[in-house]
Amino acid sequence: MAVRKDEVGRIDLRQVRAALPAAADRLLDDFERHLRLERGLSAHTVRAYVGDMISLLGFLHRDHGADDDREALAGLDVASLRAWLADQRGGGAGRTTLARRSASARTFTAWARRQGAIGADPGARLVSPRTHRTLPAVLRHDETGEVLRAAGAGAAELDPEALRDHAVLELLYATGVRVSELCSLDVDDVDFGSRVVRVFGKGGKERVVPFGVPAGHALRSWLDSGRPAMAARPGKGGSSALFLGVRGGRLDPRAVRRVVHDAVGSVPGAADIGPHGLRHTAATHLLEGGADLRSVQELLGHATLATTQLYTHVTVERLKAIHDRAHPRAR
């Protein structure tokens, strides 16, 4: 059967899944529940992993079609996994995409082994392709200061949205939290006495992150003078969310991205960054200020130190650039 593609040449996964045997479809449903309920992964990650496994099972089913539960994963071994990834690469998938699909496959095969759907775990022998890790764009200290001063000047007018935007920017930079984590915060998650905020990160993991005095002042102004006015607007009232949208409901990540882009765009020469860029900026400035990697890892909620180590490359590159400009014998 020819597989339909969309307007940009991507495989129609719904059509692929519809052609799978019932046993494979049931496995996909069980795998999705495992990711969502047991692993606590985000909806975006669950969709990506399940889509990858639809692609894999569709690839396998072309050569090993079967309908009963024992044979639903017929032909699944390390050679077939490598052949599937090679097929993906031939279709134009980049290194980052291939790395994620390798991770999806390893997660799936480990789970299938525990469920008894396969006798051995072929994904344990699968090596991910190395990704090209690019240095993230960050703001300089002076640029960050300009962004926050401008936001503070707007908040001084006591407009509810300006108060909120100032608090959002200050908290993003102070804590380095992800935009999804910021939008998930409730009022009760903020402890002004200890100047910490309770954050629920990837996989539902909880961590406590400190914030400084400027962020504390911005949050207090927002809660005292901005949030009550926005909460009273017609719409989704009664929300426990720390940050509210224009209609009184929980602030959406897309709105936060607009806030950050608009604020950073007002500073001439500043890199075009969004909320994740402020996260990168906070991590880089912490390391430049003398913070150790383990502490930054804990603050950012990184699962592994390897992710945090990316920021050391950022600081080294910036030091090299300064050296090239300033040292008389740099060139």
Q: How far apart are CA 48 and CA 327, in angstroms?
A: 48
Identified catalytic residue from 17, 34, 164, 279: 279
276 is catalytic: yes
Q: Which residue of the set 61, 166, 280, 302 is catalytic?
A: 302
- Beta carbons of 188 and 240 less than 8 angstroms apart: yes
Any catalytic annotation for residue 261? Answer: no
Q: Residue 235: which residues within 8 A CB-CB, separation 6 or more?
A: 247, 248, 249
CA distance 329 to 331: 5
Q: Which of 154, 174, 150, 149 is nearest to 164 (CA)?
A: 154
Q: Catalytic: 279?
A: yes
Choosing from 202, 233, 257, 318, which is the catalytic residue?
A: 202
Q: Given 34, 61, 166, 311, which residue is catalytic?
A: 311
Name the residue among 285, 299, 48 with its Cα closest to residue 178: 299
Scanning the chain, the segments in alpha helix (DSSP H) are: 13-18, 22-33, 43-61, 78-90, 95-115, 141-155, 160-175, 179-184, 213-221, 227-231, 253-265, 275-288, 293-300, 305-326
The one catalytic residue in 17, 101, 178, 285 is 178
Residue of 64, 125, 250, 276 with catalytic role: 276
44 and 96 in contact (C-beta within 8 Å)?
no
How far, in Å, are 70, 86, 129, 266 from residue 94 at the CA level? 33, 11, 10, 34
Catalytic residue status for 202: yes
In this structure, how many other beta carbons lie within 10 angstroms of the beta carbon of residue 283? 26
Residue 131, CB-side half-sphere exposure with 13 Å CA sphere:
16
Q: 285 catalytic, yes or no?
A: no
Residue that the structure tokens 């072929």 belong to: 122
The catalytic site residues sit at 178, 202, 276, 279, 302, 311
